Amino acid sequence: LPSMQTSGTKPCPCPSFKLREVASMYFTMVAVFLVILVVALQGSVPRGSDFPYKVPLDPQGLLELSWNVSYPEQAVHFQLLVRDLQFGLLFGMSDRGEFENADLAVLWSDGHNSYFGDAWSDAEGQLHMDSQQDYQLLGARRAPEGLYLLFRRAFSTCDPKDYLIEDGTVHLIYGILENPVHSLQAINISGIHRGLQRVQLLKPNITVPELPSDMKTMEITAPNVVIPSQETTYWCYMAELPDGFPKHHIIMYEPVITAGNEALVHHMEVFQCAAKFDSFPHYNGPCDSKMKPDRLNYCRHVLAAWAMGAQAFYYPEEAGLAFGGLGSSRYLRLEIHYHNPLVFKGRHDSSGIRLYYTATLRRYDAGIMELGLVYTPVMAIPPGEDTFILTGYCTDKCTQLALPAAGIRIFASQLHTHLAGRKVVTVLIRDGREQQVVNADGHYSPHFQEIRMLKEMVAVFPGDELITTCTYNTEDRSRATVGGFGILEEMCVNYVHYYPQTQLELCKSAVDPGYLHRYFNLVNRFNDEEVCTCPQVSVPQQFSSIPWNTFNRDVLRSLYGFAPISVHCNKSSAIRFPGEWEKQPLPTITERLREPIPRCPPTPGPRPAAPVPINLGELRRE
């Protein structure tokens, strides 16, 4: 049990404190009694072993965050290990990892006295004590490895200065105070050692399924890679299943991280190669190297994916992901994203993914289906947009044709866009009414693409519709961003993992090209502008010649919300189900899901509007 070290009731002289803080000291005196009382009474303070999720915050691993999620309490308990405490630290959350308009817990010390408080930063990055204290300090404990801080935060506090913790990505930010701090206001947030880490804070509460006794493991790991001394590396390594390896079910996988490299291995994926090639060259090197054989581009079928902060991935007990056997390739590609911002040199790494598989096939093969937008330039985003939304439809006609009468169960989802993506949501519609969110990430980052287990499985039946909406930001771009495979082109995809497997591999859409042509004509005529709409000019070229005034932007938005679509209801990326899929009407939605109203659960104990003194002893000056 962490011992509580919050200081007693003796008055603390704070000559260097600003008037406002001095005034609040009176209340602190009162509050201290109460805090002690709360912590003493709090039977529910979690023990150190009660934090199942862990992630290093900084590349050196000086700050290590563990946490757990209490859905009944609608709160997260944090345990922050500070390996080399100097004069305090900042920890918090913000929309996309920025230090402005952030919600922060701050531990600071003037060298003699230490304080903990809930603060916020304004649009200029200036810190302020929050009038409502929602990071609740539960304890602090010195250990040989460093200081452990324990605190609690409700998902939703209804304080407009606070971050609302939602499903999906949370951008955690940290800062290290290397000098004595005499007041919160005196912290210059731009001058400190700081950074961001993305995590899925609200992990779903999954019961681990029972594992079979004949389970075997296979490690797909890169053999002794020297991590390049550059910020970003995508490393590619080709592995191979044994000759004649029969069909198995992958039922679980987990990361294997070389000790000491926890902060460098950002994410990893294992892809299966295309069965149409008999063999693939061996390769072990950067994915963007000119030496990389082109054939590796045919290794794109995801078998496993892991990102920092993720734990082991378990398939539902009635399903497994088939690999091996006839009709599937023996070749696997491991891709590791090394994130090395401090440019460490000569680090060796043998990380990878450990697959757990069984020969006793489970009842269902799991499948992966692609929802969202077709990779085509007809879906484009004007430049300079703060928020532009593109939507891909999996229509009732397609699910009617392709799904079994008993439906499918979606149990996991991986969202995917390129660099302009900011949010991704997939919603299930039945009879024109929105039923439930399949997966949503309101703080999506293209730099953090995990396969996420859903909180609850989503059943999809023939005739249902799946609408995937991506929100983009192109404020830093001067030309239109069109759909496509390039990193500066865009995608809007949700890879949903489901069972039983069907023939439907992708269910996506794009605007009808004829209507897009009318749009180019309209822009020409309406604005007296010269946009060549001659047929020999490509769609990307036409988009790039549009003068982007508010009218042309608005009308493109309206076009995408109105024009009929071309539906790709495909067995594989090239083979459509039989039927008429061009000029299909957009699904009409008669009933939307209600926005959830944030609950503001009464937090146990008082929430003093003043920092809590905390006894850490005298802190050293470097």
Three-state DSSP class for 551? Answer: helix
Cα–Cα distances (Å) from 222 to 121, 334, 349, 576, in that order, read: 42, 8, 7, 37
Name the residue nearer to its own copies (CB basis): 339 or 583: 583
Catalytic member of 234, 298, 339, 517: 234
For strand 506-511 and strand 367-373, is the pairing parallel, antiparallel, or unpaired? parallel
Cα 330 to Cα 54, 279, 326, 346, 591, distances in angstroms:
34, 8, 9, 32, 47
Residue 397 carries which side chain, given as an amino acid letter? K
Structure tokens given for 3: 């011992």
For residue 356, which of 315, 328, 386 has the smallest C-alpha distance? 315
Please identify, among the stretches 148-156, 168-176, 255-263, 561-569, the one whose residues bind its own copies according to the rule CB under 8 A: 561-569
193, 557, 576, 583: which one contacts its own copies (CB under 8 A)? Answer: 557
Shorter beta-carbon distance to its own copies: residue 26 or 562:
562
Indicate the burial class of 502 (C-beta count within 10 angstroms; 0-12, 13-18, 19 or more): middle
Q: How far is the CB of 522 from its own copies (least distance, A)?
A: 6
Q: Which is nearer to its own copies, 209 or 564 (CB)?
A: 564
Minimum CB–partner distance for residue 526 and its own copies (Å): 6
Q: Which is nearer to its own copies, 538 or 549 (CB)?
A: 549
Q: Minimal distance in Å, beta carbon 521 to its own copies? A: 7
Whole-angstrom Cα distance, residue 484 to residue 419?
A: 12
Nearer to its own copies among residue 197 and residue 469 (C-beta): 469
Residue 429's alpha-carbon distances to 165, 406, 436, 463, 537, in angstroms, are: 26, 17, 8, 9, 38
Residue written as token pair 């005499």: 182
The answer to whether the CB of 417 falls within 8 A of the CB of 444 is: yes
Least distance to its own copies, CB of residue 595, Å: 11
Helix axes 550-560, 513-527, angle to 10 degrees: 160
Q: Which of 25, 158, 419, 609 binds its own copies (CB under 8 A)?
A: 158
- The reply to whether 356 belongs to the active site is no
The region of 148-156, 421-429, 494-502, 546-554 touching its own copies under the rule CB under 8 A is: 546-554
**Binding positions for its own copies, 399-438, rule CB under 8 A:** none
Tell me how far, at minimum, the Cβ of 392 lies from its own copies, in Å: 18
Smaller CB separation from its own copies, 518 or 621: 518
Number of residues lying near its own copies (CB under 8 A): 19
- State which of positions 509-528 bind its own copies (CB under 8 A): 518, 521-522, 525-526
The first and second tokens of residue 547, run together, are 């003068």
Instruction: Indicate which single residue of 50, 551, 615, 617 sits in contact with its own copies (rule: CB under 8 A).
Output: 551
The answer to whether the beta carbons of residues 73 and 601 sit under 8 Å apart is: yes
- Residue 416 annotated to the active site: yes
C-alpha distance from residue 552 to each of 48, 473, 535, 555, 559 (Å): 57, 17, 20, 5, 10
Q: What is the 3-state secondary structure (H, E, C) of 174-192?
A: EEECCCCCCCHHHCCHHHC
* DSSP strands (E only) in 406-450: 408-416, 421-430, 433-441
Count of beta carbons in the 10 Å neighbourhood of residue 346: 7
Nearer to its own copies, 91 or 388 (CB): 388
Q: Rounded to the nearest whole angstrom, what is the least distance from the CB of residue 466 to its own copies in the complex?
A: 21
Catalytic residue among 416, 418, 443, 497: 416
Stretch that binds its own copies, among 408-416, 466-474, 550-558, 568-576 (CB under 8 A): 550-558
Rule CB under 8 A: choose which of 43, 144, 160, 327 binds its own copies.
160
User: What φ, ψ does residue 37 adopt, rounded to 5°?
Assistant: -60, -50
Which C-beta is closer to its own copies: that of 1 or that of 534?
Answer: 534
Using the 8-state DSSP alphabet, how is residue 31 labeled? H
Q: Which of 186, 555, 589, 609 binds its own copies (CB under 8 A)?
A: 555
Which region, judged by CB under 8 A, interacts with its own copies, from 332-340, 374-382, 398-406, 558-566?
558-566
Please identify which residue in 13, 223, 514, 561 interacts with its own copies, judged by CB under 8 A.
Answer: 561
CB nearer its own copies, residue 387 or residue 558: 558
Residue-by-residue DSSP string for 93-113? EESSS-STT-EEEEEEE-SS-
* Candidate residues 562, 572, 582, 592; the one interacting with its own copies per rule CB under 8 A: 562
Write down the least CB distance from residue 193 to its own copies, Å: 33
Residue 563 near its own copies by CB under 8 A? yes
Do the Cβ atoms of 588 and 113 come closer than 8 Å? no
Q: Which of 186, 559, 593, 609 binds its own copies (CB under 8 A)?
A: 559
Which one of 550, 574, 578, 580 is in contact with its own copies (CB under 8 A)?
550
Site for its own copies in 579-618 (CB under 8 A): 597
Residue 549 makes contact with its own copies by CB under 8 A: yes
Q: Does 144 bind its own copies (CB under 8 A)?
A: no
CB 435 within 8 A of CB 428: yes
The least distance separating its own copies from the CB of residue 298, rounded to whole angstroms, comes to 41
The helix (run of H) or strand (run of E) holding residue 502 is none
* Residues contributing to the site for its own copies (CB under 8 A): 158, 160, 518, 521-522, 525-526, 549-551, 554-555, 557-559, 561-563, 597
Q: List the catalytic residues.
A: 234, 416
